[in-house]
Structure 1
Amino acid sequence: MSAKPIKSILFVCLGNICRSPLAEGVFRAVLTEQGKDQGLVIDSAGTGGWHAGQEPDRRSIAVAARHGVDISGQRARKVLQEDFSRFDLMLGMDNANVRDLKALAPQAAHDRIHLYLDFATGKTVDVPDPYYDGAEAFASVYRMIREASDALAKRLGASASPTSGHASSTM
């Protein structure tokens, strides 16, 4: 990873209805809590487009809401080719997402694609897809994402420079 400051982050999962919208919303909330919302562009997308235009899974909305984070306004979308030039950092929720992103990406963008937990916390583990599981799986995913969001904010805080404006999203 180059020393270039990170000004835009795309969180990516399979369908953009469970993990990546949760990561987008939680990371945005962490930045706000820490007073670090400095014009960083934050968004989420899926490697597949089956849910394009839909709101996040009701269970992701519910677990986020229990922690004071509203992700209900987000809408699913598929990763676009322009995302590879638009985002400084693309964080896949699991190794399959990372592989899919690298298969879609031009070679020059490969160094911006990382496994989320590995990049944020140094733990080379997946954020598991809770789609076919119950509320406890969503709660577990929330905890993983919250811990990684805190770590990511801390990591980026060292290289961030204050700017005006606000984060944008597909919300």
Structure 2
Amino acid sequence: MIRVLFVCLGNICRSPMAEAVMRDLIEKKGLSDKIKVDSAATSSWHIGDSPHKGTQAKLKEYGISTSGMKGRQLTTSDFEAFDYIIGMDSSNVKNIRDMLGQPDDVKIFRFLDLTPHKKDVPDPYYTGDFQETYDLVLEGCEVLLDKITKDIENN
């Protein structure tokens, strides 16, 4: 079982969007028994909160559910529990490394580093542009799923 954790600042916009999109892609490819996905925050601001209404609305447009999703904070046990820990921006990656005490571990990386963009996913909480975030998240999830699928096939 491959386990993926998406992390952003509050766990109400970007990381739950990535979790929901990735889960949808995994289900459509029939890989739910091989890959599990979760999301978390580096802050404690929104623990127990549902995804942001803008995230929910954007995902609903594409028929993707956020049912049962609640914000949670990253914990030190996440480092052992997950194979990939993915920060949605550079600041998130730094905070993840600091919080987990793993400054150079390769399983922690920035989400869009796998794509040609190699940039941060903008936070729609501040930009208000949930479509831009969705487009980048979809592309990133597709690339990540391809990588994981190849990893599964090679093992």
TM-score range, shorter chain: over 0.9
- Identify the residue that residue 122 of structure 2 maps to in structure 1: 128
TM-score of the superposed pair, with normalisation by structure 1:
0.84
The 5-angstrom pairing of residues 50-65 of structure 1 reads 50-65=45-60
- Identify the residue that residue 17 of structure 2 maps to in structure 1: 22
User: Where does structure 2 lack aligned partners over 5 or more consecutive residues?
Assistant: none
SS at match of 1:111: coil
- Identify the residue that residue 164 of structure 1 maps to in structure 2: none
RMSD: 1.6
> Hey, what's the Cα distance between the residues in 1 that align with 2:148 and 2:117?
17
Checking the alignment, whether the CA contact within 8 Å between 2:75 and 2:100 is kept in structure 1 is no
> Hey, what's the Cα distance between the residues in 2 that align with 1:37 and 1:47?
26
Alignment deviations for residues 111-157 of structure 1 (CA, whole Å, 9 cap, x no partner): 210001113x25320001010233xx101100110111111111111
Which residue among 84, 88, 103 is the counterpart of 1:89? 84
Larger relative contact order (CA 8 Å, sep ≥ 6): 1
Q: What is the percentage of aligned positions where both structures have the same residue?
A: 37
Deviation at 1:108, TM superposition (A): 7.8
Provide runs of 4+ in structure 1 moved above 6 Å: none
Alignment coverage as a number of residue pairs: 153
User: Where does structure 1 lack aligned partners over 5 or more consecutive residues?
Assistant: 1-5, 162-171
SS at match of 2:125: coil
Checking the alignment, whether the CA contact within 8 Å between 1:90 and 1:113 is kept in structure 2 is yes
> Hey, what's the Cα distance between the residues in 2 that align with 1:109 and 1:15?
23
Deviation at 1:106, TM superposition (A): 2.8
